[in-house]
Amino acid sequence: MTVQGHEVIIAGAGPTGMMLAGELALAGVDVAIIERRLNQDVEGSRASGLHPRAIEILDQRGVADRFLAQGKKHHAVAIAGMIVDASDRSTRHNYTLGLWQEKIERGLADWISELGVTLYRGCELETFVDSGDHVETQMTGGRTLRCSYLVGCDGGRSRVRKTAGIQFPGSEPQTSYLIFEAAMADDPPLGIRYGERGLYAVGWLDDGPRVRGVATETHLERGESPNEEDLKVALAAGYGSDLGVNEVTWVSRFTDAARQAEVYRKGRILLAGDAAHIHSAVGGQGLNVGMQDAVNLGWKLAQVVRGISSEALLATCQEERHPVGAALLEQTLALTALNRGDDRTTALRGLMAKVMQMDEPRKWYTETMSGLDIRYGEEGTHRLLGRRMPDMDISTVEGPTRIFKLLHAARPVLVNFGTPSSLLLDRWGSHVRLVDARFEGVCELPVIGAVPPPLAVLIRPDGYVAWVGDGTDAGLVDALRTWCGD
């Protein structure tokens, strides 16, 4: 019997899985997704927006505009009930884009369809065996597929992670919450209030008259299927009545559990997104960090599959993204603690309000929560090294352009701002694009501020800087070997 195969199979067609599939397809990898849903419909509104770095990575692929056209820009960030100005973030996209998850998923689904990604809908990954040189997957319905690598983008209860035997340590939940969409017979008490165990919030769903809200439950609950009665009990505890809630079209439960996979790779099995880390929904980080996981993994896995790089490149996913996931868990634990309503936490929120009136703490917080401050590796001789390359406006022999447009093909790019033709790629020329350019302006990094403009930079496909030139090619060959094939 002939077993059908793909180079990479992804379990889960959520934002992380589709972003990863798009990255692999751009690089010419035969990739397929296994998805239990028959279409891209999403139950409830779920995640509500894209943060600046997530918008940037879509811009790096030339598809940001299709999302921007549907959303609403917000130049502010919330912390513990406060709204702080974030309009001075160091990015072309200095806003959060208000856009429901359903529209984000539909936009990504359209993109990967254009790229020819195969989707197996209406089925789930049942089990798999990593044989060392390939992975044999078994789908519900009895279908078998073979692949070189299997990636779990299948959520917090990831079957891929569990079947692979990857440990998932972390903090046990203390509180559970209900997120809901409904109508209310009474006038909705719009805004946020705090109870002893956590927050309560009600806001208009789109422009009303229906509402979307969050309510803290009186006791920790773990069931996956809360109902309308559970919601009424939680609302009554926070507001003194159930607010006449009715026509509940969606209610879902989440907790403040914080867990992270010990490893993001085991043999030919990899993890990204919620399969690799779970946390409270406070701060709206999950979808955005999952997309960044995907972009970090995608180009590396593509180079390994295509034989450009050795498997050693995949080890850098753990080195780079595991610390980001750990920091994310710490952030959400801290923000969750700030949402309690006891006297001590109320006093702490008051102190934080004063801190956030200072420019430096405010800028640090808004840029950190936006995913803009990430640095991979140790601090280098130039502050750009290991950080995302700003989307600078540049001039080339082909005319004016900007850095992110050079990344649309998801290939490494060597940008030379020095003497034209002074840098050579040698054997990397077929894989790495070389661009001679001029830049006149200020090179500004989030949190850090202005830095000296580089004389040359090697930019990875994910937009992070792998090498900064000092007027010579010192270190360039080593960087090319490390990141662009050995």
Residue range 162-188: mean pLDDT, rounded: 95
Query: In the prediction, which pLDDT does 44 show?
Result: 74
Query: 114-163, pLDDT tens digit by residue?
Result: 999 999 999 999 999 999 999 999 999 889 999 999 999 999 999 999 99
The answer to whether residue 276 scores a pLDDT higher than 50 is yes
pTM listed for this prediction: 0.95
Distance CA 74, CA 89 (A): 12
User: Is pLDDT above 50 for 265?
Assistant: yes
pLDDT at residue number 105: 96
| pLDDT above 90 (res 109) | yes
The predicted pLDDT at position 48 comes to 81
Rounded distance between C-alpha atoms, residue 159 and residue 161, angstroms: 5
Burial class of residue 187, CB neighbours in 10 A (0-12, 13-18, 19+): exposed
| The domain over range 176-255 is classified in CATH as 3.30.70.2450 | yes
Query: What would the pLDDT profile of 224-241 be if each residue is shown by its tens digit?
Result: 889 999 999 999 999 999
Supply the mean pLDDT for the chain.
Answer: 94
**pLDDT, mean of residues 20-40:** 96
CB contact at 8 A, 61 and 22: yes
Asked if residue 382 lies in contact with residue 468, where contact means CB atoms within 8 angstroms, the answer is: yes
For residue 419, which amino acid is it?
A: T
CATH of 393-484, one of 3.40.30.120, 3.90.950.10, 3.30.70.600, 3.10.20.30: 3.40.30.120
Query: If we measure between CA atoms, which residue out of 19, 14, 27, 485 comes closest to residue 299?
Result: 27
Does pLDDT of 255 surpass 90? yes
**DSSP secondary structure letter of residue 453:** P
pLDDT tier for residue 208 given thresholds of 50, 70 and 90: confident
What does the pLDDT read at residue 99? Answer: 94
Query: H or E element: which one contains 351?
Result: helix 343-355
Look at residue 2 and tell me whether its pLDDT is greater than 80: no
pLDDT given at position 246: 96
Share of the chain above pLDDT 70, in %: 99
| Inter-residue contact 437 to 416 (CB < 8 Å) | yes
Region 183-203 average pLDDT: 92
pLDDT of residue 380: 82
Q: How many helices (H) and strands (E) does the chain have?
A: 11, 29
C-alpha distances out from residue 441 to 171, 392, 436, 451, Å:
46, 8, 17, 11
Residues with Cβ within 8 Å of residue 437, at least 6 apart in sequence: 394, 395, 396, 415, 416, 417
The terminus-to-terminus CA distance of the chain in angstroms comes to 37
Per-residue pLDDT averaged across 389-398, rounded?
97
Using an 8 Å Cβ cutoff, are 156 and 277 in contact?
no
| HSE of 110, CA atoms in CB hemisphere, 13 A | 9
Say which residue, 26 or 285, is predicted with more confidence.
26
In the beta sheet, which residues pair with residue 136?
129, 146
Is it the case that residue 1 has pLDDT exceeding 50?
no
Strands 76-79 and 125-130 come out as unpaired
Local confidence band at 449 (pLDDT 50, 70, 90 cut-offs): very high
Q: What is the pLDDT of residue 225?
A: 87
Q: H/E element holding 98?
A: strand 96-98
Determine if the peptide bond prior to 209 is cis (ω within 30°): yes
Q: What pLDDT does residue 136 have?
A: 97
d(CA 410, CA 241): 53
**Span 4-169+259-369 CATH architecture:** 3-Layer(bba) Sandwich (3.50)
Judged on CB neighbours under 10 Å (0-12, 13-18, 19+), 92 is middle
Task: Give pLDDT, residue 445.
Answer: 95
Statement: residue 274 has pLDDT above 80: yes
pLDDT in tens, 50-69: 999 999 999 999 999 999 99
Rounded to whole angstroms, how far apart are CA atoms 103 and 177? Answer: 24
CA 72/CA 275 separation, integer angstroms: 29
**pLDDT digits over 405-417, tens only?**
999 999 999 999 9
Question: What's the length of the chain?
Answer: 486
Q: What's the pLDDT at 3?
A: 64
- Sequence ranges of the domains in the chain: 4-169+259-369, 176-255, 393-484
C-alpha–C-alpha distance, residues 59 and 66, integer Å: 10
